[in-house]
Amino acid sequence: MNEGAPGNDLEVLLDTETLDRRIAELGREISADYRGRPLRLVGILKGSWVFMASLARRLELEVTVDFLGVASYERSTEPTGAVRITKDLDHSIEGLDVLVVEDILDTGRTFEYILGVLSAHRPRSLKTVTLLDKPSRRVRPVKADYVGFTVPDVFVVGYGLDYAQRFRHLPDVRIFRPA
């Protein structure tokens, strides 16, 4: 990797090998739970796309994908508390087994909102997987069905996660401390 590339000076929290190993484990667990049933992955944009692509390749199932865009951070390291949909689903999920793919479960406000929106579409089942879980910041009583890693209360970027649209390109998860 280019030494002078943006983000290379940030502390690595989870390296690529650790991420790959855990995502493979999640893939095996989810495949076993849904064996013989098609699964619709619903990725939450924009942060989940890298994780979702990695996870989808590890699933031994018939998988279709869709995306739901939501915004809650704007240009800050703190969630605004207001959640808005920026992109709706392209296809119906009624009667389907749905797995929501999220990059990080933080306060739980966005997570709770997403689950409410998707439940109204009457899927057969609705479960969630998050790459990162930050329970120390939880203000809503929600839990993911599948968790990649529990992380400390630090702002993280990389592997699809961003700060003001920057650092998504990093191949691992790093700690970002704004100046």
Positions marked catalytic? 106
Q: Could you give phi then psi for residue 13, rounded to 5 degrees? A: -95, -45
Q: Are strands 84-87 and 63-71 parallel, antiparallel or unpaired?
A: antiparallel
Those residues with Cβ within 8 angstroms of residue 38's Cβ, 6 or more apart along the chain or in another chain: 61, 62, 63, 64, 96, 97
Question: What does the block give as tokens for 36?
Answer: 């013989």
CA 30 – CA 33 distance, rounded (Å)? 5
CA 9 – CA 45 distance, rounded (Å)? 26
